[in-house]
Copies of this chain bind each other. A is one copy, B any other.
Amino acid sequence: MKYCCYCSAELIYEIPDDDNRYRYICQSCEIIHYQNPKIVAGSIPVWEDQILLCKRAIEPRYGYWTLPAGFMELGETSLEAAIRETLEEANAKIEVEDLYAIFNLPYVDQVYMMFKSRLVDLDFSPGEETQEVKLFDEGDIPWNEIAFTTVKQTLKFYFEDRNNGNFHQHTGDIIKKDGKYDFVETLL
């Protein structure tokens, strides 16, 4: 950020009066340009014993498998965002059951909200950002070709809980350290 989006004057980066963080401030109209984390909403679409995954047709992680998910838009709820993303990426209709996983990713300023869902029918197909959509049994999940740590962790919890007969919400943080990603579960 270099310029004010309201008046086009140059921004300065300093701590405003009565604040304790650096912000972008307009030198002319004095507006403070706050920046905040974004929500990524997605689904775990389940059909009997199988999970629907999407093979990505876009960067990042082109060709890797993911659960349908994406940035929540203005004017919608997190649940609507998860349903919309599932429709856009997999042309799949779901019924949402639970808010299953909430992960903070402070290194990219994102919060993931993943909803456990039921596929309504078997009418699905690749959306514009997807190469292939497929149902996977637990034993066939391509663990080494999963696009994101958030998706791998969500799937890991899902199968653990299913095998233990005990589904419950998972809350935690994904921390990036020395180029590696660690998951820390909180509020156990």
CB neighbours (8 Å) of A6 from chain B are: 1-3
Q: Which residue of B lies closest to A173 (CB)?
A: B77
Q: How many residues of A contact B (CB 8 A)?
A: 43
Residues 133-188 of A contacting B (Cβ, < 8 Å): 169, 171, 173, 186-187
Do residues B73 and A36 form an inter-chain contact, with CB atoms below 8 A? yes
Interface: A39 (CB within 8 A): yes
Q: Give the distance in Å from the alpha carbon of A38 to the alpha carbon of B6 in the complex.
A: 20
Number of copies: 2
Q: Give the distance in Å from the alpha carbon of A156 to the alpha carbon of B39 in the complex.
A: 26
CB neighbours (8 Å) of A111 from chain B are: 39, 72, 78
Interface: A59 (CB within 8 A): no
Q: Give the distance in Å from the alpha carbon of A33 to the alpha carbon of B34 in the complex.
A: 15
Q: Give the distance in Å from the alpha carbon of A138 to the alpha carbon of B186 in the complex.
A: 29
Interface residue stretch chosen among A45-53, A99-107, A118-126: A99-107
Do residues A99 and B102 form an inter-chain contact, with CB atoms below 8 A? yes
Q: Which residue of B lies closest to A109 (CB)?
A: B74
Do residues B18 and A33 form an inter-chain contact, with CB atoms below 8 A? no
Question: Which of A5, A102, A187: most chain B CB closer than 10 A?
Answer: A5
CB neighbours (8 Å) of A3 from chain B are: 3-8
Nearest-neighbour CB distance to chain B for A138, whole angstroms, equals 25
Q: Which residue of B lies closest to A20 (CB)?
A: B88
